[in-house]
Amino acid sequence: MSRIVVTGIGIISAIGDNADSNRTALQNGICGISSIDLFETKYAKELPFGEIKISNAVLKGHLRVSFPGVTRTSLLAQHAFEQAIADSNLSSEDLSDESTAFITGNTVGGMCLTDELYNDANKRSTDSPYVNSYDLGSVTVYLQELYKIRGISNTINTACSSSANAIMYGARLLKYGKAKRAIVGGVDSLAKFTINGFNALHILSSQQCKPFDQNRSGLNLGEGAAFLILEREEDCIQKKKYAILSGYSNANDAYHASSLSDTGEGPYAAMTEALKNAQLQPADISFINAHGTGTENNDLVEGVAMKRIFEKVPPFASSKSNTGHTLGAAGAIEAVYSILSIQHQELYPSLHFNQSIDTLALEPLQTFQKSTVRHVMSNSFGFAGNCSSLIFSEI
Amino acid sequence: MGTPELKYQLKEQIIKFLNLISVTPEDIKDDEPLFGEGLGLDSIDSLELIVLMDREYGIKITDPKEGRKILVDINTMVDYIEKNRTK
Amino acid sequence: MFYIHQSSCISAQKAFSDPSETSLTASVNNKLYACDANYDMIPPNTLRRLGKAVKMGIATGMQVINQQAVDGIVIGTANGGLEDCIKFLNQIIEFEEGRLTPTNFVQSTTNAIAGQLGIMTVNKGYNITHVHRGLAFENALIDTEMLLQENPDRSYLIGGVDEISEYNYTIDTLAGCYKKEDVSNKNLLRAASAGSMAGEGAAMFLVNNSKQDAQASIRAIKTLHSTEFDSIEKTIQDFIQEHVSGEEKIDLILSGKNGDARLDAYYEKCVSLLPANTPVGYYKQLTGEFSTATAIALWIAVTLLSTNRLNALLEIPATLQPKNILLYNTCRGNQHSLILISKP
C-alpha cells in the first residue's frame, strides 16, 4: 500500500506564527502561557492562557480579509492553511481539483463569539454578520469557499483529538483512492465557552501547567491552528517531503464522559493499534509527544498506559507546557512538532517539571537535545473517551 | 427555618438541580450516601452540588476535595449549610 | 459497496415507527418535532443528564446494537446537543462567568452521542463524530466505506442525528434557512418563498460487508461543494454513468427538495438528468429540514426496498417497488450529495 507523506506544513500558536518560530521556541524552552492581553474574560487576571498575541485586526490585514462575518477561529485556520499550501506549492487549480480533500478538526467553531452568539440566539439582534459562522463546519466551509475547494471535505469533532482524527481521515482518503492530496489539520481559538466549561470541571490551573509532575494542578487553555498537506509518495516524487505518516489509530476509552479509566484502556488501545498499523514494535519509537495536559487524571492514566506498552518508556514530553491545550488544534500542532523533530533530528523538552508522579516514576525529557529520531508517536485523548495516536517516521 | 424544613428544601433543590428522574424528597434518607451507593451520584454531580451550594446558600467551596467531605449525605450538607450560609 | 442489516429511526412521523399509523403528522409552529420515543434502555442516572439529540441517538443506536454487536461507532451530527450548548452559553452570560454547572458543557459537545454509545456498550473500537454541516452524515458513510475496506470482517454502527433547539431555530431563521411566514408541512413543497421548515430526528444502521440477509446495499456516495450549475450537472451525470449501467435504471429519486424556492432549481436539475418517467419521492415535508436529514432519507429508502407502506406518505405510486434508489440532497445550495442504494 502507498506510503503517505507530508509535503507541506503551516502553524500558528502561542509560541510562534510559523514553523520556524515555533521550532526556535521549542528549542529554547519558551513558554507561551501567560496572562491574557486580547481576549476578554473575567478570568483574564486569575488564569494564564496560551494566547496568540496577534489581534483579529492584524490577522485580517495580513490575510487581506475585508469582508464581515469572519471569526477568529477562521482567521487562525486561514493563517496556517495558507502557509501549508504555499509550503507544498499547491496551485489554485490543485485546490479546486475534485481530487483535493480538505479536513478540519475543531471544537468551538464560531462560538468564540460568545456574546454575539448569545444575542443572536436570544433574539436580541437583527443584522448580525455571524449567523452562518457559529457551527463547527463553518470554519471549513469558509476556507472551501475562499479557495474553491470542491472535493471531499469534512469537519471532525472528537474533542481534544479532533485534528488527529482529521489527519487520519485524510490519510485514509488517500490510501483508498478517494483523494489525491489531502489538506488536513485543526484549529480552535480561545472562547468563553471552553474557558467556562473547563473551569466548571475544575481542571484549569492558575499556574503554568506542569505535565507529568506530582504536583500538577490542571491544564491551561490555548489557541492555534496547524495544517499538513498529505500526498501519496508516488504522486509527489519530485517534491520536498518532511516525513511519512506511518501509523494511526482511533479507539475509545468507553468509561466516562469527561475522564479516563484508571487503567487507560483507550490510550492503551490507541497507542497499540497505531504501532500495529505502522508495523512497528514499541522499541522502535524514538520519542512520544504525549497528550500530557497537566490534569491529575490525564497524566497519570497516560503514564500508566505508556508503561503497559513500553518495556522501557522512550523519551517523551508534552508541548502543552509551551502552547497550552489548543483543543481541536492540538493533534495537528503536535503533528507539526513531531515532524520538526524528525526533520531536524532533535527533541524538544517538556517544561515546568519538578517531581515524578509517585506511582509512575516517569520523567519527561527536560532538555533540548540533538538525537537520532526515526519514529515519533503523537497522542491525543479527548472527552467522550476519544483517543487517537499518530506515528510519523523518517523518509 | 428549622432543620427538618431545611432538609426537605435541600432535597427538593437537589432533585431539581440534578434532574433526578422519579425521585421524591421522601425517597432520600438523611443519612443515605449521595455518591456511589445510595443515590448513585458521581464526580460531575459533586461539581453541580458545589454550584447549588453557591447559588442557593451563598457558600463557596473552592476545592472539590473539600467538597467531598461536605457532600457526604443530607445530614452533613445541612450541618455545613447551617453553619456557613450567607443567604 | 457495503450492506445495511439493521436500521432504526426516530422522526416527526408516527407512521415511520408504527406501521399501523398511516396519516401524516402535522407541523407545529413551523417545526416538525420528532415523536417522543421510548428511552427505557437508558439508565436513569444517565438519562437525567441528556438532551434530546443525545437521547434520540442513544435510543436509535441501542435498538440497532441490541440486535447485533458492532466493532465501532460512526456518527454524523452537525450540531449535536445544541440546546445544552446554548443553555451553558446563557449561564456564562447570565452569571457573568461565575460558578457554572458542567453537565450542560459536557453533554453539549457534538461527540457526546458517539461517546455515550461507546460508554453504554463498553465499545473500545473506532469512535468518531463527523460534523460537516449538510455533509456530516455523508462523511460518516464515506468513513464507513473505508473502514469496511480496512477491516472486511467487522460491523459498524453508523447514524445521523440532529435536534431543533429554540436558539438554533432563531439563528438559522436569521440566516434565512426557515420560512418567516406560517406554513403547514402539508403545503411546504408547494410554497414559493425562501426558507424551509425546521426538523429533527435520528436514524441508525448496522453495516458490514455481508450480502446475506442484508436489507440494502449502499453502492456509491458522492459529495460536492459548489454553487455552479455546470459543475453540479456534470457531477450528477458522471455519477449515474459510472454507477448505473446497462440494463439497470434508477426506479426512484428520493429528492431532498425542502420548500425553499431558492433551491428548487438544483432539485429540478437532478430530476431532468434522469429518464423523463423516473418517479420522484419527497420527504422533507415529513421530516423537516436539518443538516443530517439524509440519514432519515436513507432509512426511508431502506424501508421502500422491502415494503410499500410509506408510498402514500411520499406521494409515489402505491404499487412502486423500487430496486435502485438515488438520493440527492443539497444543504444551502453549496453542499451536495448523491447516494445510490439498491436491493441486495
CA A59 vs. chain centroid, Å, equals 20
Instruction: State which H helix or E strand residue C162 sits in.
Output: strand C156-162
Integer Cα distance of C184 and C189 in angstroms: 10
Does C45 sit within 8 Å of B19, measured CB to CB? no
CA A165 vs. chain centroid, Å, equals 10
Integer Cα distance of C178 and C197 in angstroms: 5
Residues in chain B: 87
Domains A4-235 and A246-393 share a fold: yes
Dihedral of the alpha carbons of C271, C277, C283, C289, in degrees to the nearest 10? 10
pLDDT of A21 strictly over 80: yes
Considering only CA atoms, which of A103, A120, A16 is closest in space to residue A69? A120
Q: Which residues in chain B have their CB less than 8 angstroms from residue A200's CB?
A: 47, 51
**CA angle A359–A363–A368, rounded 5-degree value:** 170
List CB contacts of C177: < 8 A, sequence separation 6 or more.
C195, C196, C198, C260, C289, C332
Q: Which residues in chain C have their CB less than 8 angstroms from residue A386's CB?
A: 111, 114-115, 127-128
User: DSSP secondary-structure letter at B59?
Assistant: -
Under 8 Å between Cβ of C219 and C243: yes
**CA angle A99–A103–A105, rounded 5-degree value:** 175
**CA angle C95–C97–C101, rounded 5-degree value:** 75
pLDDT value of position A122: 87
Does B55 sit within 8 Å of C99, measured CB to CB? yes
Q: Which of C92, C106, C133 comes nearest A193 by C-beta?
A: C92
Under 8 Å between Cβ of A159 and A97: no
Exposure of C94 in the CB half-sphere (CA atoms within 13 A):
10
Q: Are strands A153-156 and A346-347 parallel, antiparallel or unpaired?
A: unpaired
Integer Cα distance of C130 and A155 in angstroms: 6
Does C106 sit within 8 Å of B21, measured CB to CB? no
Spans of chain B, pLDDT less than 50: none
Residue type, A109: G
Does B44 sit within 8 Å of C48, measured CB to CB? no
Q: Which residues in chain C have their CB less than 8 angstroms from residue A149's CB?
A: 225
Give the start-to-end residue ranges of the domains of chain C. 2-208, 216-342
Phi, psi of A39 (to 5 degrees): -80, 140
Q: Which residues in chain C have their CB less than 8 angstroms from residue A155's CB?
A: 130-133, 136
pLDDT value of position B1: 65
Under 8 Å between Cβ of A84 and A183: yes
Does A259 sit within 8 Å of B43, measured CB to CB? yes
Integer Cα distance of B2 and A61 in angstroms: 65
Dihedral of the alpha carbons of A16, A22, A26, A31, in degrees to the nearest 10? 10
What part of A 269-288 touches C (C-beta under 8 Å)? 269
By C-alpha distance, the chain A residue nearest C174 is A131
Domains C2-208 and C216-342 share a fold: yes
Does B44 sit within 8 Å of A257, measured CB to CB? yes
Output the CA–CA distances (angstroms, integers) from residue A328 to A106, A160, A298, B9, C128, in the order listed: 4, 5, 17, 42, 14
Q: For C216-342, give the CATH class.
A: alpha beta
Q: Which of B18, B44, B60 comes nearest C102 by C-beta?
A: B44
Considering only CA atoms, which of A208, A222, A187, A161 is closest in space to residue A350? A208
Q: Which residues in chain B have their CB less than 8 angstroms from residue C100's CB?
A: 51
Q: Measured between alpha carbons, how far apart are the two ends of chain A, in Å?
A: 16
Does A202 sit within 8 Å of B43, measured CB to CB? no
What part of A 21-60 touches C (C-beta under 8 Å)? 41-43
Q: Which residues in chain C have their CB less than 8 angstroms from residue A176's CB?
A: 145-146, 149
Chain B nearest C-alpha distance from A201 (Å): 7
Which residue, among C77, C110, C144, would best test binding to A if mutated, counting the most A CBs under 10 Å from its CB?
A: C110
Does A156 sit within 8 Å of C225, measured CB to CB? no
pLDDT value of position C246: 81
* Complex ipTM value: 0.97
Integer Cα distance of C299 and C313 in angstroms: 14
The pLDDT tens digits for A209-233 are 999 999 999 999 999 999 999 999 9
Under 8 Å between Cβ of A369 and A143: no
The pLDDT tens digits for A224-268 are 999 999 999 999 999 999 999 999 999 999 999 899 999 999 999
A67: cell is: 469582508
Give the start-to-end residue ranges of the domains of chain A. 4-235, 246-393
**CA angle A137–C229–C330, rounded 5-degree value:** 40
pLDDT value of position C17: 87
Q: Return the residue matching grid coordinates 470542491.
A: A150
Give the start-to-end residue ranges of the domains of chain B. 3-84
Sign, Cα dihedral of B63, B65, B70, B71: positive
Composition of chain C by helix, strand, coil, percent to 5? 40, 20, 40
Does A200 sit within 8 Å of B47, measured CB to CB? yes
By C-alpha distance, the chain C residue nearest A259 is C106
Does C128 sit within 8 Å of A156, measured CB to CB? yes
Which residue, among A47, A124, A136, would best test binding to C if mutated, counting the most C CBs under 10 Å from its CB?
A: A136
User: DSSP secondary-structure letter at C151?
Assistant: S
pLDDT value of position A213: 98
Superfamily of domain B3-84: ACP-like (1.10.1200.10)
User: Looking at A100-202, which runs of residues are DSSP E strands?
Assistant: 100-105, 153-156, 181-188
User: Looking at A267-385, which runs of residues are DSSP E strands?
Assistant: 287-289, 316-317, 346-347, 369-370, 375-381
C188: cell is: 411546504
Q: Which residues in chain A have their CB less than 8 angstroms from residue C334's CB?
A: 141, 145
Q: Judge if pTM exceeds 0.80.
A: yes
Which residue, among A46, A202, A205, A258, would best test binding to B if mutated, counting the most B CBs under 10 Å from its CB?
A: A202
Radius of gyration (C-alpha) of chain C in whole angstroms: 19
pLDDT value of position B22: 87
Sign, Cα dihedral of A354, A355, A357, A361: positive
Q: Which residues in chain A have their CB less than 8 angstroms from residue B44's CB?
A: 201, 257-258
Q: Which residues in chain B have their CB less than 8 angstroms from residue C41's CB?
A: none
Residue A156 touches partner C, C-beta closer than 8 Å: yes
If DSSP codes are grouped into helix, strand and coil, which group holds residue A333? helix
pLDDT value of position B67: 86
Q: Are strands C156-162 and C72-76 parallel, antiparallel or unpaired?
A: parallel
By C-alpha distance, the chain B residue nearest C50 is B19
Considering only CA atoms, which of A257, A323, A265, A261 is closest in space to residue A289? A323
Does C101 sit within 8 Å of B54, measured CB to CB? no
Does C89 sit within 8 Å of A118, measured CB to CB? yes
Under 8 Å between Cβ of A44 and A59: no
Q: Which residues in chain C have their CB less than 8 angstroms from residue A255's CB?
A: 119
CATH 3.40.47.10 fits A246-393, yes or no: yes
pLDDT exceeding 70 applies to what percent of chain A? 100
Integer Cα distance of C258 and C287 in angstroms: 10
Which residue, among B46, B47, B65, would best test binding to A if mutated, counting the most A CBs under 10 Å from its CB?
A: B47
Composition of chain A by helix, strand, coil, percent to 5? 35, 20, 40
B touches which chains (3+ CB pairs under 8 A)?
A, C
What part of B 27-86 touches C (C-beta under 8 Å)? 40-42, 44, 47-48, 50-51, 54-55, 60
Chain B nearest C-alpha distance from C113 (Å): 18
Considering only CA atoms, which of B29, B66, B30 is closest in space to residue B47? B66
Residue C190 touches partner B, C-beta closer than 8 Å: no
Instruction: State which H helix or E strand residue C233 sits in.
Output: helix C229-243
**CA angle C117–C59–C46, rounded 5-degree value:** 60
CATH 3.40.47.10 fits C2-208, yes or no: yes
- DSSP one-letter string for C253-317: EEE---S-TTTHHHHHHHHHTS-TT--EEE-HHHH-B-TTHHHHHHHHHHHHHH--TTHHHHTS-
C147: cell is: 473502514
Q: Are strands A181-188 and A224-232 parallel, antiparallel or unpaired?
A: antiparallel
What part of A 313-372 touches C (C-beta under 8 Å)? none
Q: Which residues in chain C have their CB less than 8 angstroms from residue A252's CB?
A: 73, 115, 118, 123-127
Does A202 sit within 8 Å of B44, measured CB to CB? no
List CB contacts of C28: < 8 A, sequence separation 6 or more.
none
The 10 Å Cβ neighbour count of residue B36 is 9
Give the burial string for C192-211 (b: 16+ CB within 10 Å, else e). eeebbbbbbbbbbbbbbeee
Phi, psi of A299 (to 5 degrees): -65, -40
Print pLDDT tens along chain C (344 aa).
999 999 999 999 999 988 898 899 999 999 999 998 889 999 998 999 999 999 999 999 999 999 999 999 999 999 999 888 888 999 999 999 988 999 989 988 999 999 999 999 999 999 999 999 999 999 999 999 999 999 999 999 999 999 999 888 999 999 999 999 999 999 999 989 999 999 999 999 999 999 999 999 999 999 999 999 999 999 999 999 999 988 899 999 999 999 999 999 999 999 999 999 999 999 999 999 999 999 999 999 999 999 999 999 999 999 999 999 999 999 999 999 999 999 99
Q: Which residues in chain C have their CB less than 8 angstroms from residue A111's CB?
A: 85, 89
C touches which chains (3+ CB pairs under 8 A)?
A, B
Phi, psi of A135 (to 5 degrees): -70, 165
Chain A nearest C-alpha distance from C55 (Å): 15
Chain A nearest C-alpha distance from C310 (Å): 32
Integer Cα distance of A162 and A140 in angstroms: 13
Report the CATH number of the A4-235 domain. 3.40.47.10
pLDDT value of position C14: 94
pLDDT value of position C22: 86
